[in-house]
Each structure stands twice: as C-alpha cells, then as structure tokens.
C-alpha cells in the first residue's frame, strides 16, 4: 500500500478473551485481538464464524458472556450502542439499515443526531440557535455527500437507489458521526466489480484523509488483501490466525478453513 498520511499508531481497541453464546450456540469463544490507531483491520472467516457477532460486541449490540473490550484505554465488560456511538464508534450493517423513504441527505443527517446539542423539539419550531445549528450540520452532511460523490442523488429516497449506492449512503450516515473507529459489516457484499472498486477507494480515502481507524468484515479475499493492513481470521467462533494479508494467506489453518477441510 502507498504511504499514508497518518502512520499506524498505538492500540485503540483491545478485545480480550471475548466469548458469546446464544442458548447452546457458541458464537464466539475466547477471542482476543487488538485494533491499532489509523489501521484498516479485516475480520474474515466462513459463514457463521462469528464475524458480525464480534462487531456487535464491539459496538455494544451484544454483551459478551466473558471477556472485556477496552476502547481508548477504558475497559468495559459491556457497553450500550448509544454509549459506543458517543465514544466515537460508528458502523454499517450487513443488511443495509437506512430509512428507505427518506432522502440521501436526510439519512446522512440521522448519523449526525448525536452531535446535535439542541433537541429535536427546538428544531421543530426553528428557534434561532437551533436553526443555525441545523444549518451547520446540514453543511457538514453536504460535504460528506461531495466526498462520496453522491450529489446527484442527494434528494432521492434511498429505497429507489441501486444497492451499491445505498451501501454508499450508509457509509455516509456512519461518517456523519465523525467516528474514531468505523466498523463495516460486509461493505462490498452484493456489489458488482465497479461498485466494489468505488467502495474500496472510499474506504481507503476515509482512512487516509480523516485518519479513521477501520475494522471491516469482507468475504472478497481480493479486496481484503488489497486494502487491509492486518487480518484476523475466525472459524467456528475462534480466532485461528492473525497477521498481515500475506502471512494469513499462507497460513495452513486458514487455507483449510476456506477449503472446508474437516477437523
């Protein structure tokens, strides 16, 4: 990868011995790894390996049954989603989570809600300070729209957009929160080659221009190898490998997991 503006720094988040069960299903078993400042870390693994569950633990959707997560030096056995958001963790979902009837701009504005000081009631009556604040937030969201090159659809209800553009709007909604850590659950799933290339470019640009640390789940190994600094591999809820893309690609346990070798 070409030289980046912000070199990879200290540890931003530590996952320490995290386990998670649903009834009898062990989604995660004693998983540990860390995420470093400004890096792009990929989590890969076969279907059902526990990748989404891991992101859900990091942003407080699920509460681990054992282990802890430390973010910016603060250790938590569990955290609620809005707390994670307030701390600077934003995410996109495996199944797009947008308001389909609302425009691109309004969906991106919802990602800004935590930043708004004046409540919705104030905005409803357009009191002076509330109006000024809303305009500032709108201007910020317009800059995200420019950055993601979706100006042409800024007023379009997202339900009418092609799938690839909806994924881009969802990225915009996450960026509106100005996250320190951005979690992306299969940002390229279901995209054609051109859409994937665009999404890769935006992820790299977000990382480089804003310094945002990114943790993404992705099945397309070509994409993973191209854009990630490090890779964590899960299989049946356990971490089976970790390292640079080259190291992971050559790991026999990873090759076996992807070829479906029984063990």
> Interface residues with Mg ion (CB under 5 A)?
51-52, 94
User: If binding is defined by CB under 6 A, does position 47 make contact with ligand ATP?
Assistant: yes
User: If binding is defined by CB under 6 A, does position 157 make contact with ligand ATP?
Assistant: no
Helices then strands (H, E): number in the chain? 10, 10
Candidate segments 45-53, 95-103, 151-159, 167-175, binder of ligand ATP by CB under 6 A: 45-53
Least distance in angstroms from the C-beta of 48 to ligand ATP: 4
Tell me the DSSP string of 142-163: HHHHHHTT-GGGTTSBGGGS-H
Least distance in angstroms from the C-beta of 232 to ligand ATP: 12
Least distance in angstroms from the C-beta of 5 to Mg ion: 31
- Count of residues near ligand ATP by CB under 6 A: 12
Q: What is the dihedral of CA 239, 243, 245, 246, to 10 degrees?
A: -120
Least distance in angstroms from the C-beta of 191 to ligand ATP: 16
Q: Mapping DSSP to helix (H, G, I), strand (E, B) and coil, where does residue 19 land?
A: strand
Among ligand ATP, Mg ion, none, residue 25 binds (CB under 5-8 Å by kind): ligand ATP
**What is the footprint of ligand ATP within residues 22-41 (CB under 6 A)?**
22, 25, 27
Q: Which residue among 48, 81, 157, 243 contacts ligand ATP (CB under 6 A)?
A: 48
Least distance in angstroms from the C-beta of 194 to Mg ion: 24
User: If binding is defined by CB under 6 A, does position 60 make contact with ligand ATP?
Assistant: no
Q: Which residue among 37, 50, 112, 182 contacts ligand ATP (CB under 6 A)?
A: 50
**What is the footprint of ligand ATP within residues 85-124 (CB under 6 A)?**
94
- How many other CB atoms are found less than 10 A from the CB of residue 243? 15
User: If binding is defined by CB under 6 A, does position 52 make contact with ligand ATP?
Assistant: yes
Give the span between the Cα atoms of 221 and 253, in whole angstroms. 16
Least distance in angstroms from the C-beta of 55 to Mg ion: 8
Among Mg ion, ligand ATP, none, residue 211 binds (CB under 5-8 Å by kind): none
- 31 burial (CB, 10 Å; 0-12 / 13-18 / 19+) is buried
Tell me the DSSP string of 188-225: TTT--HHHHHHHHHHHHHIIIII--EEEEE-S-HHHHH
Task: Provide CB contacts within 8 A for 15, sequence distance 6+.
Answer: 31, 32, 33, 34, 35, 54, 57, 58, 67, 69
Q: Are 225 and 218 in contact (CB under 8 A)?
A: no
Candidate segments 7-15, 21-29, 68-76, 195-203, binder of ligand ATP by CB under 6 A: 21-29
For ligand ATP, the closer of residues 49 and 176 by Cβ is 49
Written as six digits, the tokens of 239 are 């971490």
Written as six digits, the tokens of 150 are 């979706």
Q: Are 20 and 43 in contact (CB under 8 A)?
A: no
Binding site for ligand ATP (CB under 6 A): 22, 25, 27, 45, 47-53, 94
């Amino acid at each position: 990868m070409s030289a980046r503006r912000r070199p990879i720094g200290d540890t931003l988040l530590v996952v320490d011995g995290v386990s998670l069960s649903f009834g009898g299903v062990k989604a995660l078993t004693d998983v540990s790894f860390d995420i470093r400042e400004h890096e792009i870390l990929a989590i890969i693994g076969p279907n059902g390996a526990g990748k989404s569950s891991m992101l859900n633990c990091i942003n407080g959707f699920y509460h681990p049954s054992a282990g802890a997560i430390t973010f910016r030096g603060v250790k938590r056995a569990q955290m609620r989603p809005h707390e994670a958001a307030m701390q600077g963790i934003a995410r996109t979902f495996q199944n797009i989570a947008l308001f389909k009837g609302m425009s691109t701009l309004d969906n991106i504005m919802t990602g800004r809600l935590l930043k708004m000081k004046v409540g919705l009631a104030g905005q409803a009556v357009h009191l002076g300070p509330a109006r000024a604040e809303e305009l500032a937030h709108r201007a910020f969201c317009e800059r995200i729209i420019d950055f993601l090159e979706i100006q042409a659809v800024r007023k379009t209800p997202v339900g009418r957009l092609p799938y690839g553009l909806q994924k881009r709007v969802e990225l915009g909604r996450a960026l509106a929160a100005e996250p320190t850590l951005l979690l992306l659950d299969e940002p390229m799933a279901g995209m054609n080659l051109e859409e994937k290339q665009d999404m890769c470019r935006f992820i790299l640009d977000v990382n480089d221009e804003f310094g945002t640390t990114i943790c993404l789940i992705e099945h397309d190994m070509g994409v993973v190898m191209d854009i990630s600094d490090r890779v964590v591999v899960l299989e049946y809820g356990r971490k089976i490998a970790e390292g640079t893309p080259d190291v992971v690609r050559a790991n026999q346990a990873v090759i076996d997991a992807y070829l479906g070798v029984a063990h």
